[in-house]
Structure 1
Amino acid sequence: MMNKKYIVALLFSVLLMPLSNAQTSNSDNNYRGLITETVQKIATIFKVTINDKDGLLKGKELDYADWRIRQGNLDVSLTAVLSPFDLTYFKENDSTYRIRKFEYARRSADIGQERLTYLANLYPNLKTWETRKTDLKECIRTAIGLDKAPAIPKKKPILTPVRKYKNYTVENIGLEIIPGVYATGSIYKPYPLKGKVPVVITPNGHFGDGRYRKDEQYRCAVLAQMGAVVVNFDLFAWGESTLQFDATLHRNSIAQTIQVLSAERLLDYMLTQKYIDKNRVGVTGGSGGGSMTMFLAAIDDRIKVSVPVVMTSSHFVGGCPCESGRGLHLCGNGTNNAEIAAMAAPKAQLIVSDGKDWTVTVPELELPFIQKTYSLFGKKNLIENAHFPNEGHDYGLSKRMAMYPFMAKYLNLDLKKVQNDKGEIDESTCVIEPYEKLYVFGNKAENLPKNALKDINQLYALFGEKNEKVYEVKK
C-alpha cells in the first residue's frame, strides 16, 4: 500500500504537468505560444479559413497568445494577436481571411464599409455636414502645408514659343511657385481662341512617362479642341522637375505639398488671364492625379467640375507619400478619399472606376455614400460613376471617352468639334509631341533659372520643417 504523502505528491505533480497543446504560464514564458497555433485556433473557433500566403507568421511567438482570443468576436481576436507584430488581416470573402503587413494607407473593403457607416452617422443633415466639411477643409489645407507656403515670387512665368496645330496650340510653362521652385508643364489652348473660355487643370499620376505619354497628350489636346484651356504639369521630382529634385526624392511627403501648391498657383495664374471664364473651372487626373483631383475639388471653391479617375476609395488613400504622406486623412478624427470626394458636393463630379484595383467597390460602396452627401443639397443628379469592371488601373481610351462628354456638359464645351462623321469622339487629330518639345528649360536644361533650388532640406526649411521621409506603400 502506497504511502499517503507519496500519493498526494504524485497527484500534485500530475496537476502541474502542462496539458498537450496548451499554453502554460511561469515567469519565463507567460503563456507564450506560437502565433501560427493561435491563429489556427481562431480559424477553428469561427469556422473560417485564415491564409498566411506570405509566411508572415512563421516563427513568431506571443505572450498570452491564446488568452487574447475573444470567442464571440473574430475581428477583435485577430487584431489582438496580429497587431503586436504590425500585421493585419484582409477579409477576402465571408469565410476567408488573409494575413498582411499593416499598411497605413490600405485596408480591406469591409473596413471601408465600416468607416463609411461611421462617417455617414456623423452628419444626418446638411447643417452638420457643412460643419464637418468646414473643419475638414481647414485641416486638409493645414496638413498639406498650404498655410505655411511662402508667397509666390512676383515674376512672370517662363513661356516657350507657341506651337500651332489644326484646332489647338501648345506652349510650355515654368512658373516659380515659391522662391527657387518651378512648376513645369504645358498649356493647351483652343485655336483660334475667341471670347471667354473655361480652364481645366490636369495633374498627372504615376503612370510611366508622366505628362509626356500619349494618353496624357490626347486628354489635353481633345479638351483644348473642345474649347477649354488645359494646364498639365509635372509631379514633384518627376519629368522636368527632376532638374531640381532627383527622382528618388519623389517619395518624400513634401511632394504632396508641392504638387497641390503647383496646381493652386498655376490656376491662380490662369485666372489672371482675360480670356479665362472664372466660373468654368475643371480638374481631372488619374491615379495619383486622381488623388490631387479630389483634394483640389474639396478645398478649392473655384473648381466647378471634377473627374477623379481610378482613385476614389474608402479603403485606400494612395500608396505614395505624394498622396498620403502629409497625414491629411487623419483630419476630422479620420477621413478617407470617399469623404474627400464628397466634399465636392454639390459641384458636378464624375467618378471613374475599374474592376482591377481599389476602385472595384465604387458602384456598391463609395458611390451610394457620396450620393447621400449630394442628396443633402438635393443634387444627387450631379454625381455620376463610370465603372469599367473588366479594365484596370489607367486613364485609357474608354475612361477618356467617359470624361469628355461630362466635361462638355458641365463646362459648356463643344463636343461636335472632336466628333467624326459617325458622331464618335476622334482623337486622331491630336499631334503626339516628342519629349523635347514639351520641355520648358530646353533639351539640355540650358534655360533652367540660376536660382532653381536643388536641396530637399532647404525646400523643407522654406515651410519651417525638417526632412523626415515617411513610410510608403507599393501599389
Structure 2
Amino acid sequence: MKDNKKIKKECRKAVPGRRTFLLLLFLLAYGSELFSQNSDSKYNQPILHTINKIERIFNVNIEDERGLLKDKNLDYADWRIRYGHPEISLTNILAPFDLTFFKESDSVYIIRKFEYPRRSVNVGEERLQYLKTLYSDKESWEKRRDSLKSCMYAALWLDKAPEAPGTKPILTKKRIYDGYSVENIALEILPGVYATGSVYKPYPLKGKHPVIICPNGHFGQGRYRESQQVRCATLARMGAIVAGFDLFGWGESQLQFPYENHHNSIAATIQVLDGMRLLDYLLTLRHADPERVGVTGGSGGGSHTMFLTALDDRVKASAPVVMVSSHFSGGCPCESGQPLHLCGDGTNNAEIAAMAAPGPQLIVSDGKDWTQAVPGLEFPFIQRTYGFYGEKDRVTNAHLPDEGHDYGKSKRMAVYRFMAEYLGLDLKKVQNSKGEIDESVCVIEEENTLKVFGDNGERLPENAIKDINALYKLFGEKNEKIQ
C-alpha cells in the first residue's frame, strides 16, 4: 500500500488547480458569447445593404442624395433592425456615423448629417405633443414659462454680464428725409464693446412715439440692405422710433470682431444684449413711449425677436418673421450656440414664441422653408397658450405659401398693419391715393453713409476690444470654440 503522503501528492497532479477550475467554469458560462463576438466579419457589411433591406421590409424609400452612406460598413447592421419600427431601425444604423434622417412623407426618408438644431417636422410635432402634457391652464403654463425664462437668462450668460458703462452714445449728424430722419449710433453695451446701427425717427418729432427694435438676420448686406432700410424708414414714417443694428461680427461690428467670430456661441449673448441695451437707451429719449415697445426681425432676427420678447417684459408687441418652428432652432451659433433650447428639459422656438402671451404677436411664415408647417402645427400650439388668457385673437399668422425665406414686401406689409394696430402707428402717413402702403419715398442710403465709425473705421474708440478671448473674459468664461 502506498504511503498516504505519496497518494495525496499524486491526486494533486491529477485534479485541476483552482485557477484552471475557474477558467473552465468561465468558458462554460461565456464561451459561446466569446466565440460569437469573434465572428465580426460574418456580420459586418455595407450599410447600403441594410438600407435596402429596410426599404423592402417597411415598403419605404430612403434617399441618400449627398452620398453620405457610400463606402460605409457597419458591424451587426441587420441585427439593428427593429421590426415594426422603421424610424428606430434607421436611428440604430445611422447613429454610429453621426447621421440622421428627415421624414419627407409617410414613405420617404432623406439621409442627412446630424445637425443639433434641425429635425424633421414629425419630430417637432412629437415634441409639441409632449409639451402640451406639461401644462393645461394659465397657472401651470406660467410656472413653466417663468422656469424657462430664468433658465434662458442664465444660458445666455445675461446673469454674468457686466453693467453697461453708461457712456453717451456716439451719434452721427441726422439726415432728414420725407417724414423721417436717420442717424447712426454706436452704443457701448459692455466695457469696450459697441453695438452699431442706425436710428430712424419720425420727422418732425413731436409728442410720444412707440419704439421698435429690429434685430438683423443673415440676409446679404446685413442692415445695409434695401429691405432693411425700407422697413425701418416706413415704420418711422408711421410714427415709430426704430433701431436697426449689426449682427455680431457683421457690418461695423467686424472692426472689433472679425466675421469668423460670428460663429462663436457668445454671438447669441451679445445680440440679445444689443437689443436690450439699445432699448435701454431709446427709452431715455423724451419722445419715447415705454408703454408701446415692439420688436420684429426675420430669419436670425426672427430668433432674436422671440428671445428678446421672452426675456424683456418691456416688449409689448412682437412679429417674428420666417423663424417660428418646432423642429428648427436656427442654424447659426448666434441663435442656437448657447444652450437655451435645452431649458426645461428641452424647448423649441414655438414654445419660446408662446412666451409672448398674452402680448400681441404676428407670426409670419412661408411655404418654402422650415416655417411651412406653421398654420397646422406651430400656430395652433401657440394659440392654445394664448387661450389660457382668453386672448386667442391676439396671436395671428400671416402665411405666404408661395413665398420663400426672406423679409420681402408682402411680409413687411403684414407687419406694418400689425404694428399700426397694436402700437398706435398711423398707416395714413404711408398710404398713397389708392390706400396702398407706399415704400417708394424711402431713400436707400449707401453703405458708408450708414456707418458710425467712418468709411474705414477711423473713428473707432481707443478702448474698443478686438480680442474674442477678452470678450469671453468679461463674462468670466473661456472661449472653448474649436478653431
TM-score (norm. length: structure 1): 0.92
SS in structure 2 opposite 1:362?
Answer: coil
Letter of the aligned partner of 1:431 in structure 2?
V
Of residues 156, 159, 171, the one that matches 2:168 is 156
User: CA offsets, 1:277-332, max 9 Å, x none?
Assistant: 11100000011100100111111111000000111111111111001000111111
Please point out which of 322, 329, 332 is paired with 2:341: 329
Cα offsets for 1:56-80 (capped at 9, x unmatched): 1122222222121110211111111
Partner of 1:432: 444
Aligned residues: 448
Contact 1:325 1:470 in 2 (8 A): no
1:259 Cα offset (Å): 0.6
SS of 1:188's partner is strand
Residue matched to 2:223: 211
Distance 2:239 2:68 in 1: 54
Q: Which residue of 2 aligns with 1:266?
A: 278
Render the CA deviation track for 1:430-459: whole Å, top value 9, x for unaligned: 111111111111112121100010001111
Amino acid at match of 2:94: L
C-alpha distance in 2 between matches for 1:252 and 1:433: 30
In the alignment, residue 101 of structure 2 is paired with which amino acid?
Answer: Y
User: Gaps spanning 5+ residues in structure 2: where?
Assistant: 1-35
SS in 2 for 1:45: helix
Matched to 2:347, the amino acid is T
1:189 corresponding residue in structure 2: 201
CA contact under 8 A between 2:379 and 2:397: conserved in structure 1? yes
Question: 1:25 touches 1:31 (CA, 8 Å); kept in 2?
Answer: no
Determine what percentage of the aligned residue pairs are the same residue: 67
Once the two structures are superposed, residues 152-208 of structure 1 have per-residue CA deviations (whole angstroms, 9 ceiling, x without a partner) of: 102111111111112111111100000000000111110111111110000111111
Aligned residue number for residue 67 of structure 2: 55
Counterpart contact for 1:353–1:362, Cα < 8 Å: yes
- The match for 1:340 among 344, 352, 369 is 352
Within the alignment, does 1:125 sit opposite 2:137 as a pair?
Answer: yes
CA distance in 2, matches of 1:382, 1:245: 40
Which secondary structure does the structure 1 equivalent of 2:90 belong to? helix
**Match among 367, 373, 382 for residue 370 of structure 1:** 382
1:10 matched residue in structure 2 = none
* 1:406 corresponds to: 418
Residue type at the aligned position of 2:265: S
Separation (CA, whole Å) in 2 of partners of 1:433 and 1:402: 24
Structure 2 length-normalised TM: 0.91
Q: Do the aligned partners of 1:386 and 1:402 also contact (CA within 8 Å) in 2?
A: yes
Opposite residue 457 of structure 1, the aligned amino acid is N
Q: Check conservation: 1:321, 1:470, Cα contact below 8 A.
A: no
The alpha-carbon deviation at position 34 of structure 1 amounts to 2.1
**Shift, 1:33, TM fit:** 2.6
Partner of 1:34: 46
SS at structure 2 position matched to 1:448: coil
Structure 1 CA distance for aligned equivalents of residues 179 and 42 of structure 2: 76
CA contact (8 A) 1:33 1:65 kept: yes
- Residue identity in the other structure for 2:407: Y
CA contact (8 A) 2:211 2:293 kept: yes
Partner of 2:94: 82
Once the two structures are superposed, residues 202-261 of structure 1 have per-residue CA deviations (whole angstroms, 9 ceiling, x without a partner) of 011111111111100110010001000001110001001111111121111111111110
* SS, match of residue 198 in structure 2: strand
User: What's 1:276 paired with?
Assistant: 288
- CA distance in structure 2 between the partners assigned to 1:458 and 1:295 by the alignment: 25
**How far apart, CA to CA, are the structure 2 residues paired with 1:201 and 1:350?**
15
Structure 1: 4+ residue segments shifted above 6 A:
none
How far apart are the structure 2 equivalents of 1:455 and 1:381? 47
Paired residue type of 2:410: S
State how 1:417-428 maps to structure 2 within 5 Å: 417-428=429-440
Could you tell me which residue of structure 1 aligns to residue 239 of structure 2? 227
Aligned: 1:355 with 2:370: no
CA distance in 2, matches of 1:276, 1:154: 19
**DSSP-derived class of the 1:265 partner:** helix
Higher-Rg structure is: 2
User: Quick one: distance in 2 between partners of 1:39 and 1:377?
Assistant: 49
Describe the superposition over 1:338-380 as per-residue Cα deviations: whole angstroms up to 9, x where unpaired. Answer: 1110110110000111111101111111111111111111110
Evaluate the alpha carbon distance shift between residue 416 and residue 244 of structure 1 in structure 2; reply closer, same or farther with a 3 A threshold.
same
